[in-house]
């Protein structure tokens, strides 16, 4: 099952806060808290989970070596998990069809999908560029959740 509806429903209930797990070179798991949301993949249109990661972060290094990951959204006792394959698009992970302007808009779209709003989009864009932020797009391979009441 690869439906992202349960995951998407939990995103606004806790500010898009999720835990993403990546794999270290030795196979052990590394978990970190991120803001994430569901959006259409900017190049394919298929639903994905998106997050923004700082350039040089360990999660990006892990995903470059092994793109498999799991992300979990929760609110209270409800949770939904997405196992999938991550694609990185950013300053160090360029795609020919994504120029600087497209990346800028992609990072904004992910931020908004995670429930973010901003009063100073120019400032947001400047910080994203300075921190060499990258888009991480997780294509679901398996989704599961606890039963809702």
The answer to whether position 98 is within a domain reads: yes
Report whether 130 contacts 54 (CB < 8 A).
no
How remote is the C-alpha of 32 from its chain's centroid? 12
The answer to whether position 134 is within a domain reads: yes
Q: Measure the CA–CA gap between 17 and 62, rounded to whole angstroms.
A: 20
Report whether 20 contacts 32 (CB < 8 A).
yes
Tens digits of residue pLDDT in 73-87 = 999 999 999 999 999
The answer to whether position 126 is within a domain reads: yes
The answer to whether position 72 is within a domain reads: yes
The answer to whether position 109 is within a domain reads: yes
The answer to whether position 95 is within a domain reads: yes
- The domain tally of the chain equals 1
Kindly give the parts of the chain with pLDDT less than 70: 1-2, 147-149
- Give the structural domain span for 52: 5-144
How remote is the C-alpha of 9 from its chain's centroid? 15
The answer to whether position 149 is within a domain reads: no
The CATH number of the domain where 24 resides is what?
2.30.110.10
From the list 59, 123, 49, the residue with the least C-alpha distance to 93 is 59
Tens digits of residue pLDDT in 34-43 = 999 999 999 9
Q: Measure the CA–CA gap between 99 and 36, rounded to whole angstroms.
A: 22
pTM of the predicted structure, to 2 decimals: 0.94
């Amino acid at each position: 099952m690869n439906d992202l509806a349960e995951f998407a429903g939990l995103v606004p209930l806790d500010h898009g806060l999720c835990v993403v797990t990546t794999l270290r070179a030795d196979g052990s798991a590394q978990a970190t808290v991120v803001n994430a949301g569901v959006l259409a993949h900017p190049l394919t249109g298929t639903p994905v989970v998106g997050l923004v990661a700082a350039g040089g972060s360990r999660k990006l290094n892990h995903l470059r070596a092994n793109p498999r990951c799991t992300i979990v959204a929760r609110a209270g006792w409800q949770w939904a998990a997405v196992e999938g394959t991550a694609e990185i698009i950013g300053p160090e992970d360029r795609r020919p069809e994504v120029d600087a302007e497209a990346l800028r808009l992609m990072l904004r779209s992910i931020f908004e999908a995670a429930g973010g709003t901003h009063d100073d989009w120019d400032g947001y864009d400047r910080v994203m560029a300075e921190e060499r932020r990258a888009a991480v797009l997780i294509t679901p391979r398996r989704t599961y959740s606890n039963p809702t009441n």
